[in-house]
Amino acid sequence: EDQVTQSPEALRLQEGESSSLNCSYTVSGLRGLFWYRQDPGKGPEFLFTLYSAGEEKEKERLKATLTKKESFLHITAPKPEDSATYLCAVPIDDMRFGAGTRLTVKP
Partner 1 sequence: EAGVTQFPSHSVIEKGQTVTLRCDPISGHDNLYWYRRVMGKEIKFLLHFVKESKQDESGMPNNRFLAERTGGTYSTLKVQPAELEDSGVYFCASSQGDSGRTGELFFGEGSRLTVL
Task: Kindly state whether residue 49 participates in binding partner 1, applying the rule CB under 8 A.
Answer: yes
Residue 54 DSSP class: T
Q: Is cis: bond before 44, omega within 30 of 0?
A: no
Q: Is cis: bond before 91, omega within 30 of 0?
A: no
Task: Kindly state whether residue 24 participates in binding partner 1, applying the rule CB under 8 A.
Answer: no
- In angstroms, give the least distance from the CB of 74 to partner 1: 19
**Which position among 2, 15, 17, 45 is part of the footprint of partner 1 (CB under 8 A)?**
45
Q: CB 88: neighbour CB atoms within 10 A?
A: 30
Contact residues for partner 1, defined by CB under 8 A: 31-34, 41-46, 48-49, 87, 89, 91, 93-100
